[in-house]
Amino acid sequence: MMSSVQMSGRDELLERFLDASSRGDVETVSVLMSQSRQLLNRRGEQGWTALMLAARNGHYEVAKVLLSNGCDTSITNRSGQTAADVAQFWGHRHVARLLAGSCDHSRDLHHLLPSRAAEEPDTYFNRELLDRKSDKRSDSEWLAAKQASPETVFILFHQLNPLVSSRAEDAEDGRPDMRLCKLRAPAVQELLKNSDTVVVFLGVEQQETGDGLLAWFALDTEDDPTELLKAEDPGRFFLPGAMPGLLRLSDDDAGVVAQARSVLAWHSRYRFCPTCGSSTKVEEGGYKRTCLRAGCRSLQGVHNTCYPRVDPVVIMLVLHPDGNQCLLGRKKIFPPGMFSCLAGFVEPGEALEAAVRREVLEESGVQVGPVQYMSSQAWPMPSCLMIGCHCVALTTDIKVDESEIEEARWFTRQQVIDTLVKDKRAVFSMPPRQAIAHYLLKHWTGFNANL
């Protein structure tokens, strides 16, 4: 009688062990294994071991724990399949490779990374309408002549919001419904006389003028100049808020605004010397601020505190080791149902690949192996450079940092495609086409740029 009771207890323990392996419960598997090592290679009533069940359901972490405790990978079920055969049959290639005995699992994952596009993508905010002509920034006489020229184009900002006019007729046919206002010298003369107006030389457009160069400048004013401009065109207004307002511009206008807004944002934050706190003056066409205090250390040698800054941000699409899923997250500020790629700032002294791995781990608890750069995007909110990457996960269990993101989930390739084509079966929404996250997702699915 005692033997029968003991056997029943062992069977119950085995059943719990197999169930935990099947569900991917790493903690329970580890606890039960510590209580009885004999569970490791025992079969259940159907002839399956814990490793086979983990392989059947794609639980990479459970399989790794079982292997680290000496699990026998050669055991077969009643159909003659090993755990590796089971994983391969059910499409869990990452588990199959693990069971095949790869000494460096990450080396086998590079093939999951999609190749980069043959042509550079024409990403929103990246359109280069102007030749920046940086060699002219230090030519004060040339800049003054251009500012006085009646052909020169001025774009105006107030509190970093660009002056635009609405094009209702274009909104009806799906084209961008905001036009960047291009002012001429007579309209901005009063603003140019104001010492508080920041002037930035943006570059030149190849058009026929006196010297063949049509110059563009950006102006930013502290005082609201709406009343000053209203008489000329009452339909003009300053486009409020960076998002989603700036996404309503044409690609050409967006490229100009990305440059102008980023530099103007720097001026709004660095009006005093970061080294000594003294006042500064604007030089080199708006691309340098020089301290006015003689003897300041920023005037000696090379000091990048004097020049506009760019903040590098990695944004990455994390690919599941099975090659058919991707990891997306959502922040509380996102519209309901929207998920996007994970992203984060690059820290000082950190390589891009290291930043990708650190940010993914911090935000989702997922470890990343191979990283591949795809494309970049200027993001003038206020002056970021989004560095788009694809990367492959080494682990699949998610544990979000709720201070960073609200939720993270694995989505299948088909679910991403459903969202891209706006299928009624779509289970989430993604960022608009203007965001590099949209490009990263679309490129992974294999769709062309005309989708």
Q: What is the rounded distance in angstroms from the CA atom of residue 370 to the CA atom of residue 111?
A: 10
Its domain, for residue 201, covers 137-269
Is residue 297, in this structure, part of any structural domain at all?
Answer: no
User: Please, which residues have CB within 8 angstroms of residue 94's CB and are 6 or more apart in sequence?
Assistant: 58, 60, 105, 109, 320, 321, 322, 396
Amino acid at site 19: D
Residue 287 lies in a domain: no
pLDDT in tens, 27-39: 999 989 888 888 8
Whether 230 maps to a domain, the answer reads yes
Quick one: pLDDT at residue 204? 95
* Residue 336: band (very low, low, confident or very high) from pLDDT cuts 50, 70, 90: very high
Is 127 inside any structural domain?
no
Is 278 among the domain residues? no
Of 219, 235, 269, the residue at which a domain comes to its end is 269
How far is residue 76's CA from residue 72's CA, in Å, rounded to a whole number?
10
Domain count, the chain: 3
pLDDT in tens, 185-209: 988 988 888 888 999 999 998 665 5
* Final residue before a domain boundary, out of 241, 269, 297: 269
Are 256 and 368 in a shared domain? Answer: no
Domain-located, residue 302: no
**Nearest-angstrom CA–CA distance, 422 and 244:** 20
pTM for the whole thing?
Answer: 0.75
- Residue found by looking up tokens 């058009």 in the block: 207
Q: Kindly indicate the confidence band of residue 327, based on its pLDDT and cuts at 50, 70 and 90.
A: very high
Indicate whether 288 belongs to any domain. no
The 10s digit of each residue's pLDDT in 72-129 is: 888 988 888 889 888 888 878 788 888 876 444 455 677 778 877 767 788 999 999 9
Residue type, 51: L
Average pLDDT over residues 143-159: 94
Residue 284 lies in a domain: no
Residues 21, 99, single domain; the answer is: yes
- Same domain for 94 and 143, yes or no, is no
Q: Which of 7-16, 137-146, 319-328, 360-369 has the lowest mean pLDDT?
A: 7-16
Q: How many CA atoms lie within 13 A of 132 on its CB side?
A: 14
Domain endpoint, select from 269, 303, 322: 269
In this structure, what CATH number is given to the domain that contains residue 383? 3.90.79.10
Q: What pLDDT is stored for residue 347 in this prediction? A: 97
- Determine the 3-state secondary structure of 114 from DSSP: coil
The CATH number that applies at residue 44 is 1.25.40.20
